[in-house]
Structure 1
Amino acid sequence: MTADDSFGRLDDDGYPAYTMGRAADMLGTTQGFLRAVEEARLITPLRSAGGHRRYSRYQLRIAARARELVDQGTPIEAACRIIILEDRLEEAQRINAEYRRSAEPANPTAAA
């Protein structure tokens, strides 16, 4: 990938653009915290060719949510589990809404 290719992906929410040090600085946390959320399987950063962790903006948002919960006194393992369950609930609600839309008659007046 060339520098031009990388530049074009900066608006990609899933592009692993941030090093561990930069990610920790952006979140106002430690690299150890990022390792802990990785160990809890909340996020899995991409590894560079040299083995260094790279984080996407999406992963940083998830880690920021975990940090909020931890700052409120929630143990890190519980915070990670809460976020995973919140994500599953959101997905189930999305699927349910799609199902309800597809089950509605195309013309409501025709059903009457």
Structure 2
Amino acid sequence: MHCFTSIIILVSSGYLPVYALNVHLFSSQPCEATFRSARSLNGAFSSITNFSVFEFMSKIEKIPILNKIKSTEESSDATYSIKFPIHHKNRRDEPFTATSTQNSPPITITDIEK
């Protein structure tokens, strides 16, 4: 709901076009990622997770900079690059191993129709 509030404010201020209010066409995951990045700007030892729209607007300017640093450092092979923590579900370097499907027989159309 916070994202929708900020979109309404940006549309009413003229920063976004009116069709940005078609939020039913959006997924919530980008909004959640944006707010996760905004919360991470508080610092590791801060317990404050909520912020006002004004505070969010000041943080939103820093998020593209943070994302650029993250993407630059992730693609860097340097020994002394900054390593940001990555959730295990978002890691790309781990090989996919499906141990349960390696020895299973192929599925046929007859199996699907059952």
Give the structure-2-normalised TM-score.
Answer: 0.33
**When you count helix as a share of all residues, which structure comes out higher?**
1
Greater Cα radius of gyration, structure 1 or 2: 2
